[in-house]
Amino acid sequence: MAKWTFKAVRPWLFGALAAATIGTGLASTQYRPVTIHVFSPTGSRSMRFRTFKTKVRNILAQARVPVTQRDRVRITRKSGNTIILVREAVPIWVRTAHRHFKYWTTEYHVGSILSALGIKLAPLDKVRPPLTAAISTGSTVDVIRQWLTKKSVTSSLPFAVTYRPDPRLVKGRRQVLQHGRQGVESTTIQYLVQNGSPLSHKIVAKKVMKPPSPEVIAYGTAPAATVDGQAMPIERRLYMVSTGYWPNPSWSTGLTASGTPAHYGVVAVDPAIIPLGTHLYVPGYGYAVAQDTGSAIIGDRIDLCFNNQSQAINWGVRPLEVYILGN
């Protein structure tokens, strides 16, 4: 039998209207021809016969076509023939990101079911089975929501290090001429979100917000100077007047201005000339560290600490060249 098709989808009658339609009587009690078309997910069937019955309920009962309030029933007449269309309602499950519910439907294709439920799909949304697929009793229709979103994140850009030779520095010595500064880069990431959870991502744009600044380091190329037969990394030379002192308990706490105990190898300086913490070499005295100050030590004066009074007195007052050493 050829498949029966029809254009008019409305007005279908269902629920209370279907019950009313089923109970509707025909206009007279003639022995009339009736055609019944029954549709279900598994296909359709048709039957033709004549009957004296006037109510649709009785006609369907005579034809042994069971109908429930969920089914849809439509009645048409053509050339004196009564046509009864019955679409059986079947249960399916519809699952979205936030709901999972049972639904009785008289539509047998996924697209028609979603339309009946008022579920609209965005361009990236997916449906399983696809919109054109037919359903069966107990089928599950999954509506998968997908959309694109963007997020910008910032990250640091490393700086480069450049080395420059400097003939004013002794070999083996380095000096930072310019400290490096990291840059800032903005990266735009596009995420494909599925039902609220990121599914995949890709970088769509990068922009340097602040370029990095290189660090510049000078390295020495000059040969090391020799003092008292020793090669030293001399940065500069100062001509100074030197004197000697010792930590006399009668007038001294024994501590330097830096808070360290006074001992041989500690010298007092004018911090405006030689910063505290500077390493020096004093001919005839040896290696020393500027850790102390004094009210009389101003300008090109340096006071050398000795362990006792005798050593300090023996040193006396001596003009000499003091060597400032690189750390």
Helix residue ranges per DSSP H, 31-103: 56-62
The fourth-level CATH superfamily of domain 148-219 is Resuscitation-promoting factor rpfb. (2.20.230.10)
Task: Name 269's Cβ contacts closer than 8 Å, sequence gap at least 6.
Answer: 276, 278, 290, 292, 293, 297, 301, 302, 303
**What pLDDT, on the 0 to 100 scale, is given for residue 290?**
95
State how beta strands 234-245 and 13-14 pair. unpaired
pLDDT of res. 172 = 76
* Residues 314, 172: Cα–Cα separation, whole Å: 37
pLDDT at 230: 74
Question: CA distances (Å), 98 to each of 144, 149, 168, 191, in order?
Answer: 11, 20, 74, 21
Which pLDDT does position 221 carry in this prediction? 85
Q: Cis bond leading into 129, ω under 30°?
A: yes
Burial label, 35 (beta-carbon count in 10 A; 0-12, 13-18, 19+): middle
Query: What is the sign, positive or negative, of the torsion defined by CA atoms of 64, 68, 70, 72?
Result: positive
* Domain residue extents for the chain: 13-87, 91-144, 148-219, 224-325
Rounded Cα–Cα distance for residues 79 and 33 (Å): 10
How far is Cα 157 from Cα 207, in angstroms, rounded to an integer? 11
Question: Yes or no: is domain 224-325 CATH 3.30.1120.130?
Answer: no
Buried b (16+ CB within 10 A) or exposed e, 241-251: ebbbbbbeeee
| Tokens of residue 190, six digits | 């596009």
Tell me how far CA of residue 283 lies from CA of 56, 143, 242, 305, in angstroms. Answer: 127, 89, 11, 14
Question: In tens digits, what is the pLDDT along the chain, a chain of 327 residues?
Answer: 333 332 333 333 444 445 445 555 554 557 889 999 999 999 999 999 999 998 999 999 999 999 999 999 999 988 888 999 999 999 999 999 889 999 999 999 999 999 999 999 999 999 999 999 999 999 999 999 999 999 999 999 999 999 999 887 777 778 899 999 999 999 999 999 999 899 999 999 999 999 999 999 999 887 776 777 777 778 888 999 999 999 887 777 889 999 999 999 999 999 999 999 999 999 999 999 999 998 899 999 999 999 999 999 999 999 999 999 876
Rounded Cα distance between 125 and 142, Å, is 11
**Cα→Cα distances 320→91, 236, 240, 242, 244, Å:** 107, 14, 6, 7, 13
Q: What is the pLDDT of residue 253?
A: 82
Total count of residues recorded for the chain = 327
Of the candidate CATH numbers 3.10.20, 3.40.50, 1.10.3450, 1.10.3470, the domain formed by 13-87 belongs to 3.10.20
